[in-house]
Amino acid sequence: MQYSKDEIDRVLVSNERIQARLDELAERINQDYAGRELLLVCILKGAVAVFADMLRRITIPCQIDFMAISSYGSSTKSSGVVRIMKDLDHGIEGKDVLIVEDIVDSGMSMRYLLDTLKTRKPASVRLLTLLDKPDRRRVELHADYIGFTIPDEFVIGYGLDYAEKYRNLPDVCVLSPKVYM
Ligand code: PRP
């Protein structure tokens, strides 16, 4: 896909690479959870693309639910303050939960979310993240399934936004500094 240089610096992870990596991760997940049932939890809004693509690759019995968390503001830096905007529709006691996230940056959103969900007594909770940015980590957090480890650059597309735009791009791209400077 052709992008405007004024908005997109470059493609970081193409949709083709994403799809190939999701094939690999799904194969592992289907093996790891063989004989069990899975509750897939989509963290709105950024994870919608990876969630939908992953869901269609899961071959074991599964249910889905949605949760929205948000840090305040729309800046390119995480504020560290986490709010639950929408909670799960159902309880998770005794369930094997797989959280699907688009990106782990500081890790503060996911640390808060994992700690919150663990108090609800699930059988297990694991985390899949499409993107991992370990250079920006501010708390101890390791995802169980990682799509791509990426450098500290502001990324958009394939669900990820800048000020709610660009979620519809098929590829994960680096935002041009011209947009926010
Ligand atoms: C993004 C992303 C993660 C979080 C990661 O969500 O989807 O949930 O930030 O940042 P952290 O590791 O520093 O906490 P955002 O709050 O931008 O909401 P969105 O998914 O609706 O875009």
Q: Is the CB of 132 under 6 A from ligand 1?
A: no
Inside any domain, residue 59: yes
pLDDT value at residue 1: 79
Q: Let me know if 161 is a catalytic residue.
A: no
- Comparing CA positions, the residue from 126, 140, 145 lying closest to residue 41 is 126
pLDDT value at residue 53: 98
* Residue of 41, 51, 66, 70 to mutate, ligand 1, most atoms within 8 A of C-beta: 70
Inside any domain, residue 10: no
Distance 31 CA to ligand 1 centre (A): 29
Residue 172 token pair: 């994960």
Residue type, 73: G
pLDDT value at residue 78: 54
Instruction: Give one word for 94, left, alpha or beta, with left for phi > 0 and alpha for psi -120 to 50.
Output: left
Q: Residue 34 burial (CB < 10 Å; 0-12/13-18/19+)?
A: exposed
Residue type, 171: D
Strands of 8-13's sheet, edge to edge?
Answer: 8-13, 172-175, 155-156
Q: Atom 13 in ligand 1: which residue has the minimum CA distance?
A: 106
Report pLDDT digits (tens) over 118-169.
Answer: 999 999 999 999 999 999 999 999 999 999 999 999 999 999 999 999 999 9
Which of the residues 105, 132, 152, 161 is marked catalytic?
Answer: 105
For the chain, 181 residues long, the average pLDDT of each consecutive 10-residue run is 92 98 98 98 97 98 95 56 92 98 95 94 98 95 97 97 97 94 83
CATH of the domain at 74: 3.40.50.2020
pLDDT value at residue 76: 44
Inside any domain, residue 58: yes
Inside any domain, residue 20: yes
Distance 172 CA to ligand 1 centre (A): 15
pLDDT value at residue 80: 62
User: What is this structure's pTM?
Assistant: 0.94
Residue 135 token pair: 């250079």
Inside any domain, residue 138: yes
Domain total of the chain: 1
Domain of residue 127, residue span: 15-155
Distance 131 CA to ligand 1 centre (A): 11
CA atoms within 13 A on the CB side of 67: 25
Integer angstrom CA distances of residue 85 from 34, 48, 88: 33, 16, 10
- Comparing CA positions, the residue from 28, 39, 22 lying closest to residue 158 is 22
